[in-house]
Amino acid sequence: MRILVSNDDGIDSAGIHSLAEALKEIAEVTVVAPHKEQSAVGHAITMQTPLRVFEYQRNGSFFGYAVDGTPADCIKIGIRNLMTAPPDLVISGINHGSNTAINIIYSGTVSAAREGAIMEVPSIAISITSYRVWDFSYAAKVAKHLAQEVYKRKLPSGTMLNVNVPNLPEEEIKGILLTKQGKSKWDDIYEKRVDPYGRNYYWLTGSLMAVDVDPDLDQAAIKNNYVSISPIHFDLTDYNTFDRMRDWKIENLMNGR
Amino acid sequence: MRILVSNDDGIDSAGIHSLAEALKEIAEVTVVAPHKEQSAVGHAITMQTPLRVFEYQRNGSFFGYAVDGTPADCIKIGIRNLMTAPPDLVISGINHGSNTAINIIYSGTVSAAREGAIMEVPSIAISITSYRVWDFSYAAKVAKHLAQEVYKRKLPSGTMLNVNVPNLPEEEIKGILLTKQGKSKWDDIYEKRVDPYGRNYYWLTGSLMAVDVDPDLDQAAIKNNYVSISPIHFDLTDYNTFDRMRDWKIENLMNGR
């Protein structure tokens, strides 16, 4: 089995090292990850400037390619140019911080796995629910076993799995739940400050409004100390609204205008 | 009616000027747009650095705010800090280049409207199908009439409309179709080049594989010279796979491990 590993925290981060080490026990692993942190870049790709690729190694055992681009760039160039044969799986993470509910939209970690799914490779994004993590071993073990499961069972073309693991000792984790994307959104606040030259600037801050109580939802699952696994796709059509909008008779919008 | 206008081509681009001028006939318009081009940034938001906001004016008639961030940043800070009252609509565009099929994922234009929908404002993204456009007047007219329609009929919370207009003289446009997101994807190619210092770099290129023939799909509609209007949401859960994955009994994944 060949696995392409990426992330959005950058190739130096602890999460991707733990992930790659665990996956090496079951697969040939190629790491292609951003040179620098790329959190909240969403599904950005680099088109207006060229990409650079640097060979990376750490401790004589961890090898990879560092790309001066986004997570989605890493998957594209990894599959198209850097790997000698296409991967059987793409796995992105382990992200420092959860990627549930609306955060799926903003997440670079998820976009790397989504780019894998777009390129028709079964893909997984995995995150741990804290920015301060000392032990990735349980999350890495989940990734390893889930990789084997997905390799065996496959996923429909275009579907990826989004995994969130509570930042808890293994014995405090209650289990694993199949979940849906939650509805929680951010209550954004821009803090207005004045720089030393008298000019204004704005920092984005705010908090995730916890509206998800249905235990089927990703955000509720991790709050209840479960590992959350959600199938995610990129068909963004709102089919219900599509059906209801037939009443609009939109084809007549410009008649007589 | 109050309309917040943004785009991803930047506040200097011709498309946003045509759009704002047309909308001024029916609404109070506030323009908050990126200072510089932000194509293909997806749903990136700026968190690691602060945002700057500059007052912008052109020809003594077009006023707006230029933000040194992404399209999604513009919507967030526009609604939270720059507008004195929340908008009734968010309209993003007129983009230079189509945003159909997989491009919806990468598009900054669409992400601005999607951020509007996340913030519970009925939102529209509008694009014209060429990078070289001389006449935005028909697309601007479509935006104006669709804005009035959406204002009257509303949209479900979380749903936005993604509009693509063929780059043709008005009399050659065959009509308007309600559509779904197409399945066309990019055949990516990275062109490997060598810089003057002997180092490699890679340019992303390639072409959109036209697999969409069903006339219900956005990509087919514009190819057939119709205006395409698709309802888009940000619920990314793959419900079919969710149901089928119950058979995986994923809750047992780590049993005995």
* Per-residue pLDDT tens digits for B221-232: 999 999 999 999
DSSP A79: I
Candidates A248, A27, A38; CA nearest to A146 is A27
Does the predicted model carry a pTM greater than 0.90?
yes
Q: Count how many pairs of residues, chain A against chain B, have C-beta atoms within 8 Å.
A: 231
Q: How far is B61 from chain A (nearest CA, A)?
A: 25
B165, with CB counted inside 10 A (0-12, 13-18, 19+), is buried
* Cβ–Cβ contact A22 with B under 8 A: no
State mean pLDDT over B6-35: 96
Are B77 and B34 contacting, i.e. CB atoms less than 8 angstroms apart? no
- Look at residue B61 in the predicted model and tell me its pLDDT: 81
Are B90 and B58 contacting, i.e. CB atoms less than 8 angstroms apart? no
* Cβ–Cβ contact A118 with B under 8 A: yes
**How many Å apart are CA A110 and CA A151, to the nearest integer?**
19
Q: Do B238 and A241 touch (CB under 8 A)?
A: no
State mean pLDDT over B104-123: 96
* Cβ–Cβ contact A72 with B under 8 A: yes
* Per-residue pLDDT tens digits for A93-129: 999 999 999 999 999 999 999 999 999 999 999 999 9
B131, two tokens: 């990078």
Closest in A51, A189, A236 to B104, CB measured = A236
**How many Å apart are CA B137 and CA B17, to the nearest integer?**
11
CA of B237: which chain A residue's CA is closest?
A: A232
Domain locations in chain A as residue ranges: 2-183+213-252
Closest in B51, B204, B231 to A201, CB measured = B51
- Look at residue A47 in the predicted model and tell me its pLDDT: 86
Q: How far is B192 from chain A (nearest CA, A)?
A: 9
**How many Å apart are CA B186 and CA B12, to the nearest integer?**
28
- CATH code of the domain made up of A2-183+213-252: 3.40.1210.10
Q: Phi/psi of residue B4, each to 5°? A: -95, 125
Separation of first and last alpha carbons in chain B: 60
Select the residue from B65, B202, B214 to test the A interface by mutation, using most A Cβ atoms within 10 A: B202
Structure-model confidence comparison of residues A60 and B177, the more confident one: B177
A84, two tokens: 């000698």
* Per-residue pLDDT tens digits for B126-161: 999 988 878 999 999 999 999 999 999 999 999 999
CA of B229: which chain A residue's CA is closest?
A: A250
Q: Do A81 and B39 touch (CB under 8 A)?
A: no
* Cβ–Cβ contact B111 with A under 8 A: yes
Work out the mean pLDDT of chain B and round it to a whole number. 94
Q: pLDDT class for A208, splitting at 50, 70, 90?
A: confident
Q: b/e per residue, A173-188, with b = 16+ CB within 10 A?
A: beebbbbbbbbbbbeb
- Pairing assessment for the beta strands A62-67 and B123-128 based on DSSP bridges: unpaired
Contacts of A26 in chain B (CB under 8 A): none
